Amino acid sequence: MTIAARSEHHLNIDSIRVGYSAGRTFTEIVHGMSFSLARGEIGCLLGPSGCGKTTVLRAIAGFESLLGGRIALGGRELSHAGFTEAPERRGVGVVFQDYALFPHLSVWENIAFGLQRLSRDERRQRVDRLLSLVGLASHARQYPHELSGGQQQRVALARALAPQPDLLLLDEPFSNLDVDLRERLALEVRDILKELGTTAVLVTHDQHEAFAIADQIGVMHQGVIVQWDNAYNLYHRPESRFVADFIGQGVFTPGTVDLPRQQVHIELGSLPLWQGINACSTTERTEQVVDVLLRADDVVHDDASPLQAEVVRKAFRGAEFLYTLKLPSGQQLLALVPSHHDHAIGEKIGIRLGADHVVTFPSESA
């Protein structure tokens, strides 16, 4: 069956519902979730543990069937209630968290594994190209146990890409790697997918990984996508408190909206409202109490500033310290400060606002 509507999208996930039964009870985990990707686009499902990310991926791979909604790829319907195309017939490749390489096969043989139907020459060309693309040409004869975790994950990626799938799924592919390598490999994988024009969906709970690899990110909460957007908008224009909280670091601080001046006043000073984005919609009153999202990079350390805040906690981040600061009112803030400004706990430091816009939410204390 071909889906004519929205054919500009390569992958269409349309109102899918997925759940599990355990004994006599049935629990719905994914509650009518939708997103689409154009050909060659990289999407990411990002969310806290247990929100249903892997369940969605398993449904796209064909390991779980749908209770409702539909999944289509390249105009081909892969799943709807009562129909699940078999995983091996979907044209979907999967890279798992634990690499799942064949231990008794060499790197070359692992990548060639799914290419039996190709001629010897085609197979050799395909595997050699992928090996050089993932930077492992000199490791072709080695076995998985002789490789580092990052190298094994590159082999797993090459193996999943070898049959040229219509869609690649990556399930927390970097979570077994250390933090520095994770982000580097995520950027490398992005380059490889872009070079091949492969459409991909990644799931992770690590926002740096999501930011490094994805064109579009769906922030998931309790089985639904609460915002589908690019990384910049998720950080700077979160549409809900959940997204504001989950993405980046910041605090909510009380503020008063001054609509005539299009400003919001907080303890640190006044800021322009971001037109149309989360600005309070109520116009009956000229002032309104709101919670203002202040990111750690919105608060600037400035010795010349008359506004002083006390250092309550500090975390060394290499290039920066993440300071937790207390204002005279007791309100706490976060501030990212270059790490050559090494201040002691209890010390008072000058701060000022460094934000050019502000995002507000209805006050939870009002």
Ligand X SMILES: Nc1ncnc2c1ncn2[C@@H]1O[C@H](COP(=O)(O)OP(=O)(O)OP(=O)(O)O)[C@@H](O)[C@H]1O
Selected binder of ligand X within 53, 139, 295, 301 (CB under 6 A): 53
> Cβ closer to ligand X: 204 or 278?
204
Selected binder of ligand X within 54, 79, 152, 227 (CB under 6 A): 54
| Residue 216 in tokens | 């579009």
User: What whole-number distance in Å separates Cα of residue 43 and Cα of residue 217?
Assistant: 6
Minimum distance from residue 37 beta carbon to ligand X (Å): 19
> Cβ closer to ligand X: 96 or 361?
96
User: What whole-number distance in Å separates Cα of residue 143 and Cα of residue 107?
Assistant: 6
**Interior/surface letters 109-138, b for 16+ CB within 10 angstroms, e for the rest:** ebbbebbeebeeeebeebbeebbebbebee
Should residue 116 be labelled a site residue for ligand X when binding is judged by CB under 6 A?
A: no
Q: What are the CA-CA distances from residue 86 to residues 61, 79, 117, 272, 320 (Å)? A: 9, 9, 19, 54, 50
> Cβ closer to ligand X: 49 or 275?
49
User: What whole-number distance in Å separates Cα of residue 67 and Cα of residue 83?
Assistant: 10
Selected binder of ligand X within 7, 15, 50, 345 (CB under 6 A): 50
Element (H, E) at 313: strand 308-316
| Residue 243 in tokens | 């997204």
Minimum distance from residue 53 beta carbon to ligand X (Å): 4
The single-letter code of the amino acid at 240 is S
Should residue 155 be labelled a site residue for ligand X when binding is judged by CB under 6 A?
A: no
> Cβ closer to ligand X: 29 or 147?
29
Should residue 24 be labelled a site residue for ligand X when binding is judged by CB under 6 A?
A: no
Q: What is the DSSP letter of 173?
A: T
User: Judged by CB under 6 A, which stretch of 46-54, 160-168, 177-185, 340-348 contacts ligand X?
Assistant: 46-54
Minimum distance from residue 351 beta carbon to ligand X (Å): 36
Residues in the chain: 366
List residues bridging with 216 in a β-sheet.
Answer: 43
> Cβ closer to ligand X: 22 or 344?
22
Which residue intervals of the chain are DSSP H helices?
53-61, 107-112, 120-133, 149-161, 179-196, 207-213, 231-236, 241-246
User: Judged by CB under 6 A, which stretch of 51-59, 104-112, 207-215, 296-304 contacts ligand X?
Assistant: 51-59
User: Judged by CB under 6 A, which stretch of 43-51, 263-271, 278-286, 343-351 contacts ligand X?
Assistant: 43-51
Minimum distance from residue 267 beta carbon to ligand X (Å): 37
User: Judged by CB under 6 A, which stretch of 44-52, 103-111, 112-120, 134-142 contacts ligand X?
Assistant: 44-52
Should residue 20 be labelled a site residue for ligand X when binding is judged by CB under 6 A?
A: yes
| Residue 91 in tokens | 């044209």
Task: Reduce the DSSP state of residue 144 to 3 states and report it.
Answer: helix
Minimum distance from residue 151 beta carbon to ligand X (Å): 24
Helical axes 179-196 vs 120-133, angle rounded to 10°: 140
User: Judged by CB under 6 A, which stretch of 53-61, 136-144, 248-256, 327-335 contacts ligand X?
Assistant: 53-61
| Residue 93 in tokens | 């490749």
Minimum distance from residue 96 beta carbon to ligand X (Å): 12
Q: What are phi and psi of 306, to 5 degrees?
A: -70, -15
Minimum distance from residue 90 beta carbon to ligand X (Å): 19
> Cβ closer to ligand X: 165 or 223?
223
Should residue 22 be labelled a site residue for ligand X when binding is judged by CB under 6 A?
A: yes
Q: Which of 316, 303, 311 is nearest to 327 (CA)?
A: 311
**Of residues 174-213, which lie at the interface with ligand X (CB under 6 A)?**
205
Which residues lie near ligand X (CB under 6 A)? Answer: 20, 22, 29, 47, 49-55, 205
